[in-house]
Chain A
């Protein structure tokens, strides 16, 4: 076992560290708000600077502006950015998940048109998958794209579309140039078969973006409405009615991005230890120690499970469903930590300016983000332990019939 870099990684790390030391002074604050015009511009400029240095999209192929490196190089960059105390790139979702999806499934025109501005932060992207009634059960989405009257054919690019529906939990939508959107194009097909992936310009007529404020009061997500939005020919990514396969690619890159991300999602035991240790009475209190020791066990396990995951990634393996258990450990460990710190500090912990107030308010939503804990446990139980699936009532019937059946059941 060896947590050290290979000589090549060490050299790369030294190079990144030196660059960050030289450039950190122009980096924006890590606490910059995404909805303030000036802050967004500063973060854009920061991403451009990183991109010009070759530190954005290192895993992308060189022909699309990347460095063609393995995911461990991305890990090194993430670690050094965290160490330098500077923010990461503005469009981590685009560069980490949506760009690689375009590289895998997009047309040549799409790659030429979209990838370079994405990499440099000139055009930020957002992910338009989840809907109010379809999150964990993503294939249940209802946003509908129809062929525009007068156009026809099943092949991509053979005509324009009209899109209507609603998406939700959309990070960065308020300043995104484009979105990657999953829509239903054939409701008479089975649930997973009638979906198509599209590129949607966020400034198109009929697109309405509304911020969603969370418990903390900060709007970190948006809901996005599409009212008869016109999509030009050639907006499809991958085959018409083949959108599910494209979406799975995005979700695979999501697991990879999270796996290569900051250790334990930033919920490190030593961060919470410092807060408790600042109160010498609490630090010697048996009940506080028992609670802290339990949650520190979880957060340390998370950190070292992360190293096992990185080892697998460095060998070219893609994280499987078992990686979802890390999220369960992270969220519940951090919830226990926030709770303990509030018990130690008292009401002061809930002061709006306190980092703990933000953490405590943020976590209940995180329990559902990226798949609810309940569904993650189902997936792990079925795909890792091989337990039989929950009986399903949505198999083998067209989506339109399924919806009709659901409505009927609610009414009865």
Chain B
């Protein structure tokens, strides 16, 4: 029994904290809301080796696991760093699983190329259909489809075309490659398409949280090549993205809690520090409880990804469910503890609140993760 981080993982986390700590990410997050440019953290990610984190060492990557990816994203989340790993990491995990694309893998691992994951939500015990993120409404959108390429230079290696739309794709704007999940005669498959292809349109989505680049992606017969991955890998990539969002949330919760506790110790009312009041103390204890529950579930997800693949869907969904609710609670609490000023641009709390609001709605939303967890456990018990 050893359900804790290894020394190497602790070092990885410290290194990530140091690297992000050298950049004024939170100030940049505020400025970005008014049109300022965000610092480019891609070189930081390249230098640290995070771009190749989930790519095998044989292809120039670090060959690490989901838990390591989560540790980096938690540190990014802590300081609202805008680093496009949420899109890149699941995409590279898929290309890596497909194997036999050494040149591309090498370029992705080194960060010379950047990928984004254009996901489909896997079918579940209620409806087996794989669906795309809709632009609006709760109804899921039809998935993009794959067809054969029939142009003049048909053959190797760009042998298929993709058509269809997926909305709210994390880190799509500016990605050099898109790893698209699409249906080929109803069967889910992964296709790699160049981001700059003339038949790909990426509309930058307006964002409530300026640190989170999102795109509405439309393929109009865009050429691409198929990855040799099966349905299990496609499901895994979807749930990996959920786990990474949960990890970002954990970091943000930790930051909200630290700031809340610090202020509750120094702010006095009626002759007492406000942290001495049960009402405040119990609320902050609740943030801590949710934070530690999220951490435990992220460890579960990291462990399942490596050692118990049949439980990864449930584990990642549980982590997303806990992390989403924890961040919502923590972001509201950091505002409440600080009083009125916490709800103004004078303070950083609104930036975490914006992060909480948008994160909870991405990739099917936290509610979908809750439903998925229920479905996985109920199907397993039936």
Contacts and interface: CB of A to CB of B under 8 A. Distances in A.
Nearest to A76: B1
A308 B289 contact: no
A289 B378 contact: yes
Interface stretch (B73-81, B173-181, B366-374): B366-374
Interface in A320-339: 322, 325, 328-329
A154 interface: no
A1 interface: yes
Best-surrounded residue of B1, B273, B292 (most CB of chain A within 10 A): B1
Nearest to B370: A293
Given A380-B285, A384-B288, A300 B300 contact: yes
Contacts of B380: 270, 273
Interface of A: 1-5, 9, 72, 75, 269-270, 273-274, 276-278, 280, 283-284, 286, 288-290, 292-294, 296-298, 300-302, 304-305, 307-308, 310-312, 314, 322, 325, 328-329, 374, 377-378, 380-382, 384-391
Contacts of B382: 277-278, 280, 283
19 contacts: A1-B302, A3-B307, A276-B381, A277-B381, A277-B382, A280-B382, A284-B126, A290-B370, A293-B369, A301-B293, A301-B296, A311-B4, A312-B4, A374-B278, A378-B278, A380-B289, A386-B261, A386-B265, A387-B281
A292 B276 contact: no
Nearest to B271: A391
Contacts of B4: 1, 308, 311-312
Interface residues of B, number: 59
Nearest to B311: A300
A289 B261 contact: no
Q: What 4 A-B pairs come out closest when comparing CB atoms? A: A301-B293, A293-B370, A381-B281, A293-B374
Contact of B374 (A5, A289, A387): A289
A381 B265 contact: no
Best-surrounded residue of B272, B282, B381 (most CB of chain A within 10 A): B381
B265 A296 contact: no
A56 B372 CA distance: 42
Contacts of A278: 382
Contact of B381 (A3, A75, A274, A386): A274
Given A293-B371, A311-B1, A298 B293 contact: yes
B289 A325 contact: yes
Contact of B299 (A294, A304, A328, A329): A304
Contacts of A1: 2-6, 67, 299, 302-303, 306-307
A311 B3 contact: yes
B289 A329 contact: yes
A385 B285 contact: yes
A273 B126 CA distance: 16
Contacts of A280: 382
Contacts of B25: none
A313 B275 CA distance: 31
A259 to B, nearest CB: 12
Contacts of B300: 300, 304
Nearest to B286: A377
Contacts of A329: 289, 293
Nearest to A310: B1
B202 interface: no
B79 to A, nearest CB: 21
Nearest to B261: A385
Contacts, number: 182
A387 B265 contact: yes
Contact of B282 (A3, A274, A289, A377): A377
Contact of B371 (A289, A300, A381): A289
B256 to A, nearest CB: 13
A387 B264 CA distance: 7
A284 B257 CA distance: 37
A385 B381 contact: no
Contacts of B314: 300
Contacts of B296: 301, 304-305, 307-308
A389 B367 CA distance: 37
A286 B125 CA distance: 12
Contact of B322 (A292, A301, A388): A301
Contacts of B286: 377
A312 B296 CA distance: 14
A380 B288 contact: yes
Contact of A292 (B67, B272, B288, B374): B374
Nearest to B3: A307
Contacts of B257: 385
Interface string B239-274: 000000000000000000100010011000000110
Contacts of B371: 286, 289-290, 293
B381 A387 contact: no
Contact of A2 (B1, B261, B325): B1
A289 B296 CA distance: 22
A395 B292 CA distance: 33
B276 A276 contact: no
A283 B375 CA distance: 8
A79 B306 CA distance: 24
A72 B302 CA distance: 23
B131 interface: no
Contacts of B272: 388, 391
Interface string B18-37: 00000000000000000000
A296 B377 contact: yes
Contact of B373 (A296, A378, A391): A296
B145 interface: no
Contact of B377 (A292, A305, A311): A292
B321 interface: yes
Given A273-B380, A390-B278, A325 B1 contact: no
B213 to A, nearest CB: 29
Nearest to A298: B293
Contact of B321 (A273, A297, A311, A382): A297
A4 B299 CA distance: 15
A61 to B, nearest CB: 23
Contacts of A277: 378-379, 381-382
Contacts of A9: 1
B3 A290 contact: no
